[in-house]
Amino acid sequence: MLQYENIRHIDLIKMGAGKSMEDALRRDILEVDDMKMPKMVLFDYGQTLIAEQKFDGVKGTEAVLQYATRNKYHLSAEQVQAKANEINQELGRFDPKKRHLFQIEIPNTMFTPYLYESQGIEIALSNAEIDTVFWNAAAPGTPTEGIKDFLDYLKNKGIRTGVISNISYNPSVVAERINRLLPDNTFEFIITSSNFLFRKPNKRIFDLALEKAQLRPDEVWYIGDQYECDVKGSLNAGMFPIWYIGALDLPYTVEEVHSLDKNILTVTDWNELRQRMEG
């Protein structure tokens, strides 16, 4: 396990169970006496770089069905999405409490053709176009508050950046969204599980990023919102993990949060992290 030097653990806040998740989180944050600056910071995508609205698969499917050239059984968006939910349940995908156990990606280039063609539906779009139409309708996103300034800060400090995302959408569609919403980013690469097979917390996807960056694990920070996939995954890969909870959408209970590793740097906004880096 990665050893943290010059870090002293302090208990900042003890909140009661009646508070909100963010307030109730026992803020056992690390006090950093001499934080070693990274050569590179890697980011998760969803609820870290970009805050997505609550996923609505029916809205996404409604948007896609507008491009249907054949709907043999006259299925509604609700019926098509119900089939998608049934298949995903069989596969064990997208369960928030078990997502870290699902470490091999099923990209939409495989899932989507089966979903529609098995129900007698033909769509006059490419797989990437279907992803774009579906995603924009099902889960539009906006940059998390302060992320643009934080990325600018890293760029001005000469700190390299990149992305590792567990995501089934086409890699080009993911890159287009990130570059559209964060047009001034200088990400050297955007690694998606849809393109590279493995999902976080599998160590292989972190190792891939290190190979691309030509850096040692101890020279890299990883920031994400999911404890099992992002924090534990990057820690196991030897990186310095930071748990960003400013846009958290996972159903952690207060008790579960309290039971998690206290020796993790946890931040609620990007300016807070910048201030800690500046000392």
The rounded distance, in Å, linking the Cα atoms of 26 and 145 is 23
DSSP letter for 37, please. P
Residues 6+ apart with CB under 8 A from 222: 41, 42, 43, 44, 164, 206, 230, 233, 234, 237, 239, 240, 241, 242
pTM of structure: 0.86
Q: Given this model, what pLDDT does residue 118 score? A: 98
Q: Given this model, what pLDDT does residue 95 score? A: 76
Picking from 127, 124, 98, the residue whose alpha carbon sits closest to that of residue 112 is 127
3-state secondary structure of 134: helix
Q: Given this model, what pLDDT does residue 264 score? A: 87
pLDDT at 48 over 50: yes
pLDDT at 28 over 90: no
Q: Given this model, what pLDDT does residue 70 score? A: 98
Distances (CA, A) of 173 to 89, 176, 179, 194: 25, 5, 10, 11
Model pLDDT for residues 29-45, shown as the tens digit of each residue? 344 434 689 999 999 99
Structural tokens at position 275: 């201030």
Q: Given this model, what pLDDT does residue 260 score? A: 63
Picking from 207, 141, 211, 209, the residue whose alpha carbon sits closest to that of residue 174 is 141
Structural tokens at position 178: 């990130």
Model pLDDT for residues 140-168, shown as the tens digit of each residue? 999 999 999 999 999 999 999 999 999 99
* Best-predicted range by mean pLDDT (52-56, 225-229, 255-259): 52-56
Q: Given this model, what pLDDT does residue 101 score? A: 82
The rounded distance, in Å, linking the Cα atoms of 80 and 58 is 8
Cα atoms in the 13 Å half-sphere on the side-chain side of 212: 19
Picking from 171, 193, 191, 166, the residue whose alpha carbon sits closest to that of residue 40 is 191
Model pLDDT for residues 113-129, shown as the tens digit of each residue? 999 999 999 999 999 99
